[in-house]
Chain A
Amino acid sequence: GQNIDQPTEMTATEGAIVQINCTYQTSGFNGLFWYQQHAGEAPTFLSYNVLDGLEEKGRFSSFLSRSKGYSYLLLKELQMKDSASYLCAVKWDYKLSFGAGTTVTVRA
Chain B
Amino acid sequence: AAGVIQSPRHLIKEKRETATLKCYPIPRHDTVYWYQQGPGQDPQFLISFYEKMQSDKGSIPDRFSAQQFSDYHSELNMSSLELGDSALYFCASSSTPGTPTEAFFGQGTRLTVV
CA gap between A94 and B56 in the complex, in Å: 6
List B contacts of A35 (CB < 8 A).
105
From A31, A94, A100, give the contact of B48 (CB < 8 A): A94
Q: Are A31 and B105 in contact (CB under 8 A)?
A: no
Interface size class of A (residues with CB under 8 A): 20 to 34
Q: Are B101 and A42 in contact (CB under 8 A)?
A: no
Of residues 86 through 106 on chain A, the ones whose CB sits less than 8 Å from some CB of chain B are: 87, 89, 91, 93-101
CA gap between A50 and B48 in the complex, in Å: 21
CA gap between A33 and B94 in the complex, in Å: 12
CA gap between A31 and B94 in the complex, in Å: 13
List B contacts of A50 (CB < 8 A).
100
Total chain B interface residues with beta-carbon distance under 8 A? 29
Residues of B that sit less than 8 Å from A by CB: 31, 33, 35, 41-43, 45, 48, 50, 55-56, 58, 88, 90, 92, 94, 97-108, 110
Q: Are B45 and A33 in contact (CB under 8 A)?
A: no
Residues of A that sit less than 8 Å from B by CB: 30-31, 33, 35, 40-45, 48, 50, 87, 89, 91, 93-101
From B97, B100, B107, give the contact of A94 (CB < 8 A): B97
CA gap between A70 and B42 in the complex, in Å: 19
- Having A42-B105, A87-B42, A96-B45, one finds 7 other A-B pairs with CB under 8 Å, namely A30-B99, A33-B103, A43-B43, A45-B103, A94-B55, A95-B56, A96-B94
